[in-house]
Structure 1
Amino acid sequence: MADISAKMVKELRDMTGVGMMDAKRALVEVEGDMDKAVDYLREKGMAKAGKKNDRIAAEGLANVAVNGNFAAIVEVNSETDFVSKNEMFQDLVKSIAKEVAENKPASMEEALAIKTDKGTLETELIEAQTVIGEKISFRRFEIVEKADNAAFGAYLHMGGRITVLSVVDGTTDEEVAKDIAMHVAAINPRYVDETQIPQEELDHEKTVLTEQALNEGKPANIVDKMVIGRLNKFKAEISLVDQPFVKDPDMTVKNYVSSKGGTVNSFVRFEVGEGIEKREDNFADEVMSQMKK
């Protein structure tokens, strides 16, 4: 039998909201496989979908910079949340976004080699690390291009803890595109529309929903209809254009954008630290370590 640690149980509880014993039983049942444990609990009707990338970990900020028909969204990480409030760090993140938007590097290696007034982006990161006294890491970036008759929308939540870059075609109204970026920041869709959902993901969801319906004791002759209905609901929930618009839930995002003469082209959403395991520090110790610097 797999060794089920207290940390694994806590992680599964955080992801699914089930009780401690239910989480442990699920992990034992699937021999410690976290993804299978989530599916097991969902099939039993005990949990909602859990996603690994919901585990927010590292600190830092993300930002957006626009340069003509190109824009860049970047994420820069630090060890503690204190650093994200540091003016030098904030300026560094903005500078990195600006340089990436202007130079359009094809890789992180090219991005770090971008020439600046102080040398390169890499030397600026090293300097900031020395001055601030924490490891500073330029984690990721994405460059987005738009057409002349399209608009970029940028939205920074909590100063850049969640940052979104959207593109809306058919209009140059940046406020409309910003509204879409704000919606994406709040609701966190995974795709623009259902055509982008991989068939593998749909097949997996259909399997889970089928087991869920059968475990509810539904007659086999109506399970298929139930699964179709629930699968359509699932697709709508994760597809941006089919979601109720956050500023006016009486209309969908698609209807809102259409009313402005546009269509949603794409979006990129960076949530700082998503997918990175966070070191479990004692908060009091963290405060003391900052006071000593």
Structure 2
Amino acid sequence: MSLLRSLRVFLVARTGSHSAGSLLRQSPQPRHTLHAGPRLSASASSKELLMKLRRNTGYSFVNCKKALETCGGDLKQAEIWLHKQAQKEGWSKAAKLQGRKTKEGLIGLLQEGNTTVLVEVNCETDFVSRNLKFQQLVQQVALGTMMYCQSLKDQLSTYSKVRWLTSVILALWKAEAGGSLEGFLNSSELSGLPAGPDRDGSLKDQLALAIGKLGENMTLKRAAWVKVPSGFYVGSYVHGAMQSPSLHNLVLGKYGALVICETSEQKTNLEDIGRRLGQHVVGMAPLSVGSLDDEPGGEAETKMLSQPYLLDPSITLGQYVQPQGVSVVDFVRFECGEGEEAAETE
């Protein structure tokens, strides 16, 4: 008797009414474990945490997974860990890229009440300047500068309270009329400012993060800030302007200008006048304000009020301003990348 036949006989004897063939074909019953439910729940929870961490930070799936594993699933600690790692990588990349030319970038202009700031952040290519992460860096620099400027609110009362950061800071002060305060920050001063209300560390830390993410050399070049009391107005203009992705009162572009004006009465068209004056400063690049008593100049004139008015060259800017009831006190002009070519030649 063959082995298979002997097995069939044995099974029939043991099972009675069931056929050996049907028993051989029956599938084994699944084995249930006590922890099957909780394991599925934990997996779903981990996936949800992972997705949330990616949304919050923008880092890769692999890095977010590693962060959660390192921090035992603690979302907040995982975010902190990711930022620290990104800063380390950013500083390392920044050191490698240091010295590469940064001729491109953006000007950012931010206005809040009587305070206006103008900042310049540079990168290597125009392609990166159009990247959202780079624009967010410019936004952080503008916010950091604004916070610094607003912290000086008690220093508008007397000249003696103005603190000079370095020799490059310029203060414009008119104590008798109530005064306006204006200052400049160079690259190193700007880098040392706090990053803002929703960021840890300094603006230099934010710069390193951006370099790590975008892979280009970048610089925080400069910033200007202006605070004016009642009776003064700051006109502004940004050429090629585009709105910030998340801050409604921040405008980005390649050229920017602030024009500080004094006016004896509140006018409804001050904003339009200020914009036109800003356009003139951007287009004509004056070097000083000059006086209404100066003789009209030609295209090579560098005194603002003596220059042919950009929007109507038949008159000077002074002739445009005088009937408007405002007087130009000072101006600031930023052109993205200016000075880089001269520095490269030297």
The two structures have a TM-score, normalised by structure 2, of 0.50
Alpha-carbon distance between aligned partners in 1 of 2:113 and 2:333, rounded to the nearest angstrom: 20
Measured on the aligned residues, the alpha-carbon RMSD in Å equals 3.0
- The percentage of counterpart residues that share the same residue type is 32
Task: Say whether 1:98 aligns with 2:143.
Answer: yes
Give the aligned partner of residue 252 of structure 1: 316
Give the aligned partner of residue 262 of structure 1: 326
**For 1:45-60, what aligned pairs fall within 5 Å after superposition?**
58-60=103-105
Give the aligned partner of residue 181 of structure 1: 278
Give the aligned partner of residue 6 of structure 1: none
Deviations for 1:246-271, whole angstroms, at most 9, x for unmatched residues? 12223221122222210111111111
8 Å CA contact retained: 2:109, 2:117: yes
8 Å CA contact retained: 2:102, 2:125: no
Alpha-carbon distance between aligned partners in 1 of 2:329 and 2:299, rounded to the nearest angstrom: 18
Alpha-carbon distance between aligned partners in 2 of 1:164 and 1:66, rounded to the nearest angstrom: 12
8 Å CA contact retained: 1:57, 1:275: no
- Flag the structure with more relative contact order, 1 or 2, with Cα contacts below 8 A and sequence separation at least 6: 1
Letter in 1 for 2:226: V
8 Å CA contact retained: 1:183, 1:245: yes
Task: Give unmatched runs, 5+ long, in structure 1.
Answer: 1-55, 198-228, 281-293
**For 1:6-45, what aligned pairs fall within 5 Å after superposition?**
none
Task: Say whether 1:162 aligns with 2:255.
Answer: yes
Pair 1:236–1:169, CA change in 2 (3 A) = farther
**For 1:77-226, what aligned pairs fall within 5 Å after superposition?**
77-104=122-149, 106=165, 107=185, 108-111=187-190, 112-116=192-196, 117-119=198-200, 120-159=202-241, 160-170=253-263, 173-193=270-290
How many Å apart are 1:234 and its aligned residue?
7.1
8 Å CA contact retained: 1:169, 1:262: yes
Give the aligned partner of residue 25 of structure 1: none
How many Å apart are 1:185 and its aligned residue?
0.6
Pair 1:262–1:163, CA change in 2 (3 A) = same
Pair 1:94–1:166, CA change in 2 (3 A) = farther
Alpha-carbon distance between aligned partners in 2 of 1:238 and 1:266, rounded to the nearest angstrom: 14
Alpha-carbon distance between aligned partners in 2 of 1:67 and 1:185, rounded to the nearest angstrom: 22
* Larger Cα-atom Rg: 2
Letter in 2 for 1:114: P
How many Å apart are 1:277 and its aligned residue?
3.2
How many Å apart are 1:124 and its aligned residue?
1.3
Alpha-carbon distance between aligned partners in 2 of 1:152 and 1:267, rounded to the nearest angstrom: 9
Count of aligned pairs between the two proteins = 191
Pair 1:187–1:278, CA change in 2 (3 A) = closer
Alpha-carbon distance between aligned partners in 2 of 1:153 and 1:272, rounded to the nearest angstrom: 19
Alpha-carbon distance between aligned partners in 1 of 2:214 and 2:335, rounded to the nearest angstrom: 23
How many Å apart are 1:236 and its aligned residue?
7.6
Give the aligned partner of residue 107 of structure 2: 62
How many Å apart are 1:109 and its aligned residue?
4.7
1:74 to 119, 122, 128: 119
How many Å apart are 1:118 and its aligned residue?
2.2
SS in 1 for 2:224: strand
Deviations for 1:167-199, whole angstroms, at most 9, x for unmatched residues? 11105612211110111111111111169x9xx
8 Å CA contact retained: 1:57, 1:278: no
How many Å apart are 1:146 and its aligned residue?
2.1
Pair 1:150–1:174, CA change in 2 (3 A) = farther
How many Å apart are 1:243 and its aligned residue?
1.4
8 Å CA contact retained: 2:299, 2:307: no
SS in 2 for 1:237: coil
Pair 1:256–1:233, CA change in 2 (3 A) = closer
Deviations for 1:210-269, whole angstroms, at most 9, x for unmatched residues? xxxxxxxxxxxxxxxxxxx9xx84798111111121122232211222222101111111
Pair 1:79–1:278, CA change in 2 (3 A) = farther
